[in-house]
Structure 1
Amino acid sequence: MNLATRLDSFHQRVRCNQWLGYFTIFVRILLAYAFIFAGFVKVNGERFTSLSNNHPMGQYLEALFHTGYYYTFIGVVQMLAGILLLIPRTALIGAMLYFPLILNICILSYAVRFDGSLLTSPLMVMANLYLLGWDYHRLKYVLPFKRSAFKKMLPAKKNRSKKFAFKFLSGVFVITATAVGFIVLMNFKVIMPRNTIDDCEYQCPESSNETACISFCECIHEQGNSLNDCLEKFGKDFNK
């Protein structure tokens, strides 16, 4: 049995379960809400956060805010992706539009070590991938796999199972919990700018070099230097 056949078989088993259908609707609503809200803030011409301009993410968002209609355009696209997710017929288009946006947010959050979305953005990426997989029978037509007729890949409504998908949802829970644990542990091992200087300095007593940590926080929040410059300075101070 080749990979394409295995994927078709697994997809059909997943689509057979009514509970997973409910779970999919739940995921769509959550993702849609997040982007519709975030998009509305941009369309309404408001700043997305109250971060200081000295913060790495604050610098980025401030610059983005001053891009004029580009800032509004991003908000419109986010709202459009959210609305499309809520409509069954357009849910796949919404998920495809949503994915590059949330992936970009995820990478940005880690690039500047932004607390606000370090945890939520990777979980949203995973949820988005699940939605893409849910519509795999349609998505596969743009992938280099052998194509099957829709009717062969999807179960008839009368054949759908109402048995609770314990194994699948347990797997989702384990993967999510593992991802959350990994992200939290990883963040404990690196110095973070945090959202304010007080939050930043709160982590310093746990550091093996408290003075270097405080200097890093001042470098970010008071001097407004770049994250890379402050990390470089922290490394030098730490090794003194």
Structure 2
Amino acid sequence: MQKIKTNICAQIFIIYTRYLIGGCFIFASLIKIKGNRFTSESGALNPIDSAWHFFETLYQSGLYWKFIGISQLLAGFLLMTQKYAKLGALVNFPIIINIFIITLSYSFGFTPLLAAMLLIANMLLIIWDWNEFKMFFNLMPTFDGTQRLENDKLWIRIGLLLFLFTFSYRVLVDNYDVIFWLVICISIGLVGLIVWLSKQKKKVLKL
């Protein structure tokens, strides 16, 4: 595991996995915080489905519906900051488990597969930082001293930019376009990666 953590590609993969999970949860959270129905906006359910009644009950709860959204927003934001991503992975874990079980309990087509992938990705993030999490199980935490890319301010700034774009887009736009959102987020991520690679190239040239 130590060798993997020192691998540059593995570290970048973890950083972008945090962006991906965080972005998905921020995107999904704002509809709840705004007090809108999930079912009517998704267009995937109708009143004869048992899942429709489930989500309608959650929506009618009012405060609890918004609480779910705020929890998702907080978890997503923490993940995307990189600096507090470890806490974000822990906060997000019970949320994604609940979502996975809900998708299994009702007829959601391929949605359980997507939820399972997010759950596995979140578990990967926890395993990645397992050395620091040992203290929660009365085990001695270990700090390997590896130079983590996530501490580079560039990745923190990219995460904040992705958060601000997603948050603003979902707040201002009700009839959202998922493809548009994905394209912009991927573009921001690619630009960030190019900038980081450029910085590394300059460092090598200086040597």
TM-score in same-fold range (> 0.5): yes
Two-structure CA RMSD over aligned residues (Å) = 1.5
After TM superposition, give the deviation of residue 102 of structure 1 in Å. 0.6
Q: CA deviation at 1:87?
A: 1.4
* Structure 2 residue aligned with 1:85: 79
Q: Distance in 2 between matches of 1:13 and 1:60?
A: 46
Aligned partner (choices 8, 14, 19) of residue 18 of structure 1: 8
CA drift of 1:101 comes to 0.5
The residue number in structure 2 matching 1:63 is 57
Q: Once the 2 structures are TM-superposed, how far is the Cα of residue 61 of structure 1 from its aligned partner?
A: 0.5
The answer to whether the aligner puts 1:123 opposite 2:117 as a matched pair is yes
Deviation at 1:38, TM superposition (A): 0.7
Instruction: Identify the residue that residue 228 of structure 1 maps to in structure 2.
Output: none
The match for 1:98 among 72, 88, 92 is 92
Alpha carbons 1:109, 1:117 under 8 Å: kept: yes
Deviation at 1:148, TM superposition (A): 4.7
SS in structure 2 of the partner of residue 98 of structure 1 = helix
Structure 1 position 32, deviation (Å): 0.7
Deviation at 1:156, TM superposition (A): 4.5
- For 2:74 and 2:24, the matched residues in 1 are separated by 12
Task: Evaluate the alpha carbon distance shift between residue 44 and residue 100 of structure 1 in structure 2; reply closer, same or farther with a 3 A threshold.
Answer: same
- Tell me if the contact between 2:134 and 2:141 (Cα under 8 Å) persists in the aligned partners: no
TM-score by length of 2: 0.66
2:19 to 15, 29, 35: 29
Could you tell me the TM-score, scaled by structure 1's length? 0.57
Aligned counterpart, 1:113: 107
CA distance in 2: counterparts of 1:38 and 1:75, whole angstroms: 8
Change (3 A) 1:155 1:62: same
* Equivalent-residue separation in structure 1 for 2:14 and 2:66 (angstroms): 29
Q: Shift of residue 113 of structure 1?
A: 2.7
The change in CA–CA distance for 1:156 and 1:37 in structure 2 (over 3 A counts) is: closer
2:33 corresponds in structure 1 to 43
Tell me the secondary structure at the aligned position of residue 89 of structure 1: coil
SS in structure 1 at match of 2:86: helix
Q: Residues 42 and 148 (structure 1 numbering): CA distance in 2 closer, same or farther, change over 3 Å?
A: closer
Counterpart code for 1:155: T
CA displacement at 1:155 relative to structure 2: 2.7
Listed one character per residue, the Cα deviations across residues 143-189 of structure 1 (whole Å, up to 9, x for unaligned) are 243x2541xx24356xxxxxxxxxxxxxxxxxxxxxxxxxxxxxxxx
Helix, strand or coil for the counterpart of 2:29? helix
Task: Within 5 Å, give how 1:71-220 maps onto structure 2.
Answer: 71-115=65-109, 117-145=111-139, 147-150=140-143, 153-156=144-147
Partners of 1:148 and 1:65 lie apart in 2 by: 41
Question: Quick check: which has more Rg, 1 or 2?
Answer: 1
Q: Secondary structure of the equivalent of 2:20? A: helix
Compared CA separation, residues 13 and 29, structure 1 to 2 (3 A): same
Greater percentage in helix: 2
| Over 3 Å off, 4+ runs | none
Give me the whole-angstrom Cα distance separating, in 2, the residues matched to 1:95 and 1:149: 18
- The 8 Å contact of residues 132 and 141 in structure 2, kept in 1 or not, is answered as no
Partner AA of 2:99 in structure 1: I
Indicate conservation of the 8 Å contact 2:133/2:141, yes or no: no
% of aligned pairs identical?
Answer: 33
